């Protein structure tokens, strides 16, 4: 052995795993300003980028915690679940998709109905979950929203729906489409009964959800920068065969074109709803 060779590789005494601090999944890059954010900072800031105020998606439960007093509420119709009426299969059976989503999120479908208080005022609040098959609306979402409206009628309560959805759920076919009519008919009754309905549109709200309840609020309020529209941007680009301009179909664009009452920052949302309900109700 040559006299200048090392006798052992000293570095190997430290196992490779312990060599660096684990940061996997603790940092996140802001979609808008590309700043690297400590995930916990984002969590405490209700998923709003502290650097550029970009609004990330907020989960359905977190949303209720944001809006309802003391993060307390009674959930309604929690167990309603789809039974896959068409036995739909694409690259994966719909039944399996449902099961996976249910396991991942601990909820039966893409919406929560909560009865709680907002700044002391009792109300019904529906909160959609984008993580559940893109927040898509099938028979369960349709039924739950309709029941929520009927509950408002029965108890004379105002309604807030936070939308976050790609639209109708393809895997339930025409049944999904009919939910648009069902919910809108119930909203006509709510309107006749002169009970307030405040629609909150968050990123994204498109397709059948926009083309029914999301656009039918006494007030339509959106979070900043949310994608809101009927057809998705890709479909439009395919139709007109050109790129869409920056900011097309974003909250600010809809405000400019007269389809929203206001664009409200997440931190002000609760106060905004509360003040408007004070105007409408005694």
Integer angstrom CA distances of residue 47 from 44, 63, 75, 210: 7, 10, 23, 23
Q: Which two tokens stand for residue 63?
A: 């949303």
Task: Give the shortest CB-56-to-another protein separation in angstroms.
Answer: 24
DSSP string, 123-157: EEEEEE-TTTGGG-B-HHHHHHHHHHHHHHHHHT-
Output 212 or 251, the one with its CB closest to another protein.
212
Output 179 or 202, the one with its CB closest to another protein.
179
Task: Give the shortest CB-152-to-another protein separation in angstroms.
Answer: 15
Output 95 or 121, the one with its CB closest to another protein.
95
> Which residues here bind another protein, judged by CB under 8 A?
80-86, 88-91, 138-140, 142-143, 146, 168-170, 172-182, 184-189, 191-192, 207-208, 210-216, 229-231, 235-236, 239-240, 244, 248-249, 257-259
Q: Which two tokens stand for residue 47?
A: 């998923």
Q: Are 244 and 204 in contact (CB under 8 A)?
A: no
Output 19 or 234, the one with its CB closest to another protein.
234
Task: Give the shortest CB-263-to-another protein separation in angstroms.
Answer: 16
Q: Which two tokens stand for residue 238?
A: 């395919």
Task: Give the shortest CB-189-to-another protein separation in angstroms.
Answer: 7
The three-state secondary structure class of 91 is coil
């Amino acid at each position: 052995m040559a006299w200048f060779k090392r006798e052992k590789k000293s570095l190997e005494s430290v196992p490779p795993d312990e060599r660096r601090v684990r940061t996997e999944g603790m940092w996140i890059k802001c979609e808008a300003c590309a700043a690297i954010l400590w995930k916990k900072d984002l969590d405490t800031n209700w998923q709003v980028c502290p650097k550029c105020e970009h609004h990330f998606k907020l989960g359905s439960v977190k949303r209720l915690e944001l809006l309802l007093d003391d993060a307390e509420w009674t959930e309604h119709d929690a167990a309603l679940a789809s039974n896959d009426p068409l036995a739909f299969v694409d690259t994966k059976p719909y039944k399996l998709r449902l099961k996976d989503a249910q396991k991942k999120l601990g909820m039966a479908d893409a919406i929560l109905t909560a009865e709680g208080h907002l700044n002391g005022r009792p109300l019904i609040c529906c909160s959609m979950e984008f993580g559940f098959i893109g927040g898509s609306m099938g028979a369960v979402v349709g039924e739950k929203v309709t029941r929520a409206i009927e509950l408002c009628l029965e108890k004379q309560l105002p309604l807030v729906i936070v939308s976050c959805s790609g639209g109708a759920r393809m895997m339930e076919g025409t049944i999904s489409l009919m939910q648009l009519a069902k919910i809108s008919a119930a909203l006509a009754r709510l309107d006749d009964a002169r009970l307030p309905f405040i629609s909150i549109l968050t990123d994204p709200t498109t397709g059948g959800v926009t083309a029914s309840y999301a656009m039918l609020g006494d007030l339509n309020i959106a979070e900043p920068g949310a994608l809101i529209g009927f057809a998705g941007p890709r479909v439009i680009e395919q139709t007109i065969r050109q790129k869409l301009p920056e900011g097309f179909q974003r909250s600010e664009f809809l405000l400019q074109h007269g389809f929203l009452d206001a664009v409200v920052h997440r931190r002000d949302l609760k106060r905004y709803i509360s003040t408007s309900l004070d105007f409408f109700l005694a």
